[in-house]
Amino acid sequence: MNIKELILNPNDFFKNLANKEVSLKTPFLIVLIFSVFMSAYTTILHQ
């Protein structure tokens, strides 16, 4: 999984992800990225 690829080209990233076997780590990584994003977003809002 390449985070840069996800940011630059999400459609291709998800197509590639769908073609591969989804590992157990994938949902955890998505949740991790989402929670980091949300915490950064709320930090920016509360400044």
Answer yes or no: is 12 within a domain: no
pLDDT number for residue 5: 66
pLDDT number for residue 8: 76
Give residue 1's pLDDT band: very low, low, confident or very high (50, 70, 90). low
Mean pLDDT value across residues 20-32: 73
pLDDT number for residue 38: 93
pLDDT number for residue 6: 64
Using alpha carbons, list the distances in angstroms from residue 17 to 25, 27, 39: 12, 11, 25
pLDDT number for residue 22: 61
Name the residue type at position 7: I
State how many domains the chain has.
Answer: 1
DSSP string computed for the chain: --HHHHHH-HHHHHHHHHHSPPPTHHHHHHHHHHHHHHHHHHHHHT-
CA atoms within 13 A on the CB side of 19: 7
Answer yes or no: is 8 within a domain: no
Domain span at residue 27? 22-47
Mean pLDDT value across residues 19-39: 80
